[in-house]
Amino acid sequence: MDSLGLERQSTDGGSLHAYCDGTTIRLLVADYYGETVDGTLRFYFDHDSLFFVFVETRRGHPNGKDAYPKRTMIERERFYFTSDRLIRWLGPKNKPQSVSTSAAKQQEDELLADARRLRATMPACQPKYAPE
């Protein structure tokens, strides 16, 4: 993350990988590591258009003994897009969520912004910033 200019995205580091078909990005995988939470976001593209985002969040059970408990609580969410619009949202345990709420609009805006920012970092599947 640091070598790509994304050091403020994750408190304890992370990584960003682009998977391509020629010069077209098909999948971006962003891993974020924090003190108490880790996360992975997978952004899937078709013809440069975001169509699916898979979000996995990992947390530890607070037990009063460990400041950083083992991350055993895992939540997964799925977001489906068409023409930059959130059309379906499956929350934890694949429970359908309404896409007409303010929370859905906020998720839509944040995921689209993240996808744009991360794609701009990796134009034509080659990082703008080369690690030293």
Instruction: Please give the pLDDT value at position 71.
Output: 75
Whole-model pTM: value is 0.81
Number of domains in the chain: 1
For the stretch 69-90, pLDDT in tens is 677 789 999 999 999 999 999 9
Place of tokens 């489906």: 80
* Residue 89 domain boundaries: 2-125
Residues of the chain with pLDDT under 50: 1-8, 10, 129-132
Classify residue 106: in a domain, yes or no. Answer: yes
CA distances from 127 to 90, 107, 112, 113, 131 (A): 32, 26, 20, 18, 9
Instruction: Please give the pLDDT value at position 70.
Output: 75
Classify residue 121: in a domain, yes or no. Answer: yes
